[in-house]
Amino acid sequence: MACTQKPKQEVIDTSDLKEREYIRAIEGVDEVLDPELVKRGKVLISYADCASCHKPEERAKGPAFKDIARRYPISQVYINLLARKVISGGTGSWGSPVMAAHPQLTMEEATAMVSYILSLD
Ligand code: HEC
């Protein structure tokens, strides 16, 4: 009689829960962003390929920039982490789609881009 148990059918509406689970906000105190860096990040993003996978407000192939801003506290630790991820690409934080690598970007450019994204919250 092993393995006969079927998964229970979910009846309650979990769309809101799923959304929160998708974003999984990380606790932290926001630091103040340099407005010049944020402005530079916005320009750099407009010249890069980010828009082919990211929209400001809605999920596309990649997470919405707003959702990224909601998840991460504004701190040097997360800005560095995310800037490195923009350069190296990767997967797993928002599900299975893979972000392309951007090895042509410098750490300074990627940092400016991430600062702009985190400013959107
Ligand atoms: C080929 C599609 C694609 C392109 C192009 C792309 N991204 Fe992404 N991006 C993704 C996907 C997919 C994820 C989610 C990755 C994950 O789940 O870890 C993501 C995640 C991110 C994250 C959050 C990473 C994390 O670990 O939470 C940041 C920040 C980001 N992208 C910035 C950028 C910037 C800036 C650019 C342009 C330079 C860019 N992306 C271009 C697909 C893309």
- 19 in any annotated domain: no
Nearest C-alpha to atom 16 of ligand 1 is from which residue? 91
Residue numbers of the domain that contains 92: 40-118
- Residue 87 C-alpha to ligand 1 middle, in angstroms? 10
Domain count, the chain: 1
In the chain, % of residues over pLDDT 70:
88
Q: How far apart are CA 64 and CA 118, in angstroms?
A: 11
44 CA: nearest ligand 1 atom: 38
- Nearest by Cα to 118 from 31, 59, 43: 31
What pLDDT, on a 0 to 100 scale, did the predictor assign at position 12? 64
Instruction: Determine the average pLDDT of the residues in 8-21.
Output: 71
What pLDDT, on a 0 to 100 scale, did the predictor assign at position 20? 82
- Residue 8 C-alpha to ligand 1 middle, in angstroms? 34
- 106 in any annotated domain: yes
Nearest C-alpha to atom 7 of ligand 1 is from which residue? 99
What is the band of 17 on the pLDDT scale with cuts at 50, 70, 90? confident
Nearest C-alpha to atom 26 of ligand 1 is from which residue? 93
- 48 in any annotated domain: yes
Q: What is the pLDDT of residues 41-81, one digit of tens each?
A: 999 999 999 999 999 999 999 999 999 999 999 999 999 99
- 32 in any annotated domain: no
Burial bucket for residue 42 (CB in 10 Å: 0-12, 13-18, 19+): middle
What pLDDT, on a 0 to 100 scale, did the predictor assign at position 9? 60
